[in-house]
Amino acid sequence: MAGMSAGRSALRMGPAELVQAAAMARRFYLEGKSKIQIAEEFGVSRFKVARVLETALERDLVRIEIRVPAELDAERSDALRARYGLRHAVVVESPAEGEDESPDPENLGEVAADLLGELVTEGDVLGLAWGRSTIHMAAALDRLPPCTVVQLTGVYDAGTAERGSVEAVRRAAQVSGGEAHPIYAPMLLPDPATAAALRSQTGIARAFEYFDKVTVACVSIGSWEPGISTVHDMLSDEERAHYASLGVAAEMSAHLFDAEGRRVGRDLGERCITVEADRLRRIPEVVAIAGGQRKAAAIGAVLRSGLVTSLVTDRAAADYLLTESSPGTHPALDRTDPDGS
């Protein structure tokens, strides 16, 4: 409520009516009293209280403003949620031109950290996949209920594990006070046999055992171009050309998707240390963190796959996603709601 305004329309009320309406509005909007309590105080019916409050709004005695922090775009968030059938969509302002030209602006991770603080409940199992945005998110975490944290993919470069996904898992577990189950292995291996051998190792196998218990997952999205997809950067030129010929447009947790959200290049998964797509689909809440114009089409492709239930993005990507000719179908809507309803 912005305050009282004795505008031209409001002056049509007599002074006693104005004073009473102002008092009732203060009780209702500022003090949180119910209409029944207000009726008892003023010796009138609750129906009259309702009429007075309605008149106060109509005649500009009361102004209601809905405000969210400046960095959040509530209108785009709601439109994006509805258009793609998401459970949650949070759109933040894009960095000023030249301010942050990285494919994963840090402010996305900061907002995603706050979102996880809302979504994760005590006893949950939180899964974190490799990605710069998830690393930013973990670094920004300052609250999490007690939960187990498990790594969902290998790392981009085993030599940087301590500064990447492994550290993100440890950080989240430290904030929550729960167990950490990291994966000390590369995401992509030379061949399926090597990947299978690594999956059978004790530490990695223990992490994989938690995959079916994950209740909230956090993933990143990459478009199929250098510097924007970790998988793209790990492949040879010949392999990139092969998968490009299959129509790959997006990558998430080493799974490849064409522009319509269909999985392509499934053979790549046999060489990867990552959560399987079918397991991802069974996780009640999968939050993707990705933004920027360069990733916008890829984000749309992954949303059409139905593997993601919620999205943290920026205005640049949201504007593209909201003007796409067709958002496609949303199989993610068939999932069981996290609270069991």
Question: By the 8 A CB rule, do 248 and 265 touch?
Answer: yes
pLDDT-above-90 percentage for the chain: 55
User: Strands 255-258 and 263-264: what pairing?
Assistant: antiparallel
Looking at residue 133, its pLDDT comes to 87
With 80 as the cut, is the pLDDT of residue 337 above it? Answer: no
Looking at residue 58, its pLDDT comes to 84
DSSP character string of 236-258: -HHHHHHHHHTTEEEEETTEEEE
Q: How many residues does the chain have?
A: 341
Give the span between the Cα atoms of 238 and 241, in whole angstroms.
Answer: 5
Each residue of 307-330: pLDDT tens digit? 999 999 999 999 999 997 666 655
**CA count, 13 A, side-chain hemisphere, 207:** 27
Give the span between the Cα atoms of 119 and 65, in whole angstroms.
Answer: 26
* Banded model confidence at residue 71, pLDDT cuts 50, 70, 90: confident
With 90 as the cut, is the pLDDT of residue 8 above it? Answer: no
Each residue of 122-155: pLDDT tens digit? 999 999 998 888 888 999 999 999 999 999 999 8
Task: Show the tokens assigned to 303.
Answer: 């949303």
Those residues whose C-beta lies under 8 Å from the C-beta of residue 91, and which sit 6 or more positions away, are 72, 73, 76, 77, 80, 313, 314, 315, 318
Sorted by where each starts, the structural domains of the chain and their CATH numbers stand as 15-59 (1.10.10), 72-323 (3.40.50.1360)
Q: Bigger pLDDT: 70 or 188?
A: 188
Nearest to 228 by CA among 314, 101, 324, 318: 101
Question: By the 8 A CB rule, do 208 and 199 touch?
Answer: yes
pTM: 0.76
User: Strands 248-252 and 222-223: what pairing?
Assistant: antiparallel
